A = this chain, B = another copy of it.
Amino acid sequence: MSKISPLSGFPELLPAQRAVEREVIASVSRTFELHGFANIETRVVEPIDRLAKGGEVDKEIYVLQRIAAEPDAKADLGLHFDLTVPFARYVLEHAGHLEFPFRRFQVQPAWRGERPQEGRYRQFTQADVDIVGRDELPFHHDVEVMSVMVDALGRLPIPRVSFQFNNRKLIQGFYRGLGIDDVTDAIRVIDKLDKLPADEVAAMLVERVGTTPEQAQRCLELATIRVADTSFVEQVRALGVTDELLEQGLAELAAVVEGCRAVAGDRVGVEANLRIARGLDYYTGTVVEIFMEGYERLKSVGGGGRYDALASDGRTTYPGVGVSFGVSRTLIPLIADGVLSGSRPVPSAVLVALNTEDDRAASTRVAAALRARDIACEVAPSPAKFGKQIRYAERRGIPFVWFVQPDAGADDLRGQVKDIRTGEQVGADPSTWTPPEADVRPSIISTARTTATSETEENQ
């Protein structure tokens, strides 16, 4: 048997770290539910030809085969590499049983065989929220779904995130208004602005896309516009390009920025950043990339946008708008850096001590009484000296130890409870005693939260 060693790209969390991930998933899920989004899960496999993008199969797909398959059998299933492809298939497959617009969220792992690095894993969890219409989907859902993710991430104890919005209609309309023929190609070149200096990009626009130097200059000017309000509208207009699609894009982007600013608290930035293009293939309107302060090296920790044909069965088209949050990409680096940690590795708030092994039933009764009141607890594994039992609790971060009355009958469960952090010990009855709210469940300890608070205070 192979030696036990971690598999690169398949990170695993220790119990206290997993408690962090669990709380984060519970928090974003609850926010999505408050906004009326239903949870679904899809199977993790899809036919390989469905995982193909634009006819080309992504090289990072993991294919699946039964070990007992014939040696020359063609593998026809692969693990999904995101949650959008399976969701589109789910909508087509189950359309007859869904109500449209269909609002769903999905939190599941996905797999990519790419080279692992910080923030990029071979197995990673994403949280996606989307609204899908049948035949049509009014624009206001763009504002809605983006606001929901702003709301969700704003509630997390992570460093400040920034939603950077753009709109494909705006870019396309602007380029068209400028008289550039190959809009798609121009966007592809402009997309290199984060790697190449502006003058090189301008030269490429002239050489490859065939723009005039004047047009190239305008494209660069558009791409440098980045503001935290709707003043981009005037800045774009000042560039002197007129086009109907451009106007529509400006209005949509302004509405998204305004709508998201209305729900963004201190923890979330909202900007129009006219350099964001986000792939070329299926986005048709709103696009967004989410970045995290101090973690720009991770590139985006989320993103999404509007796609006028999320799915189609030939007769019906399903337009959608959605946004994805990279749970693993965000949390694993934050946990590794000590920004986020769990307050304890166990759910127990109380260790019920044991007087003697024969007395286990008495301790079990006290534990049952606490559980009946929704207090998580466990009974000590052995009747060691109380000092040793207390250290057992200490090592697990269990804040309270309950001492059972040695001679009490089954009806009288009163005992003593000790806060092992302060040493304070009081008489208590398991049918009435309650731990402080902060000790009831494991919680997330975040240094980002502290930092954010002091920043906020400085800003005031």
Partner-B contacts on A (CB < 8 A)? 1-2, 4-7, 10-15, 18-19, 22, 33-45, 47-50, 52, 57-68, 75, 77-79, 89-90, 92-94, 97-99, 101, 103-104, 109, 113, 123, 138, 140-141, 144, 263, 313, 345-348, 357, 360, 368, 371, 374-379, 381-382, 395-396
Contacts and interface: CB of A to CB of B under 8 A. Distances in A.
A314 to B, nearest CB: 10
Nearest to A114: B66
A41 B124 CA distance: 12
Contacts of A103: 346, 378
Contact of A45 (B49, B59, B123, B371): B123
Contact of A123 (B44, B360, B377, B396): B44
A188 to B, nearest CB: 24
A141 to B, nearest CB: 7
A62 B62 contact: no
B396 A141 contact: no
B99 A35 contact: no
A142 B439 CA distance: 29
Nearest to A350: B36
Quick one: copies of this chain in the complex? 2
A79 B59 CA distance: 20
A241 to B, nearest CB: 29
A15 B374 CA distance: 29
A115 to B, nearest CB: 11
Contacts of A44: 44, 109, 123
Given A36-B376, A38-B18, A47-B2, A138 B381 contact: yes
A99 B64 CA distance: 36
B65 A374 contact: no
A67 B79 CA distance: 11
A16 B435 CA distance: 36
A1 B49 contact: yes
Contacts of A378: 35-36, 103
Nearest to A131: B381
21 contacts: A2-B47, A4-B93, A7-B43, A10-B43, A10-B45, A19-B39, A34-B375, A35-B378, A36-B377, A60-B66, A60-B68, A61-B66, A63-B64, A63-B65, A63-B67, A99-B345, A101-B381, A103-B378, A138-B382, A141-B381, A144-B379
Contacts of A144: 379
B19 A38 contact: yes
A260 B322 CA distance: 48
Given A13-B41, A140-B357, 14 more contacts: A2-B49, A4-B92, A7-B77, A10-B43, A13-B40, A14-B97, A14-B98, A36-B377, A45-B123, A59-B68, A62-B64, A65-B65, A99-B396, A141-B381
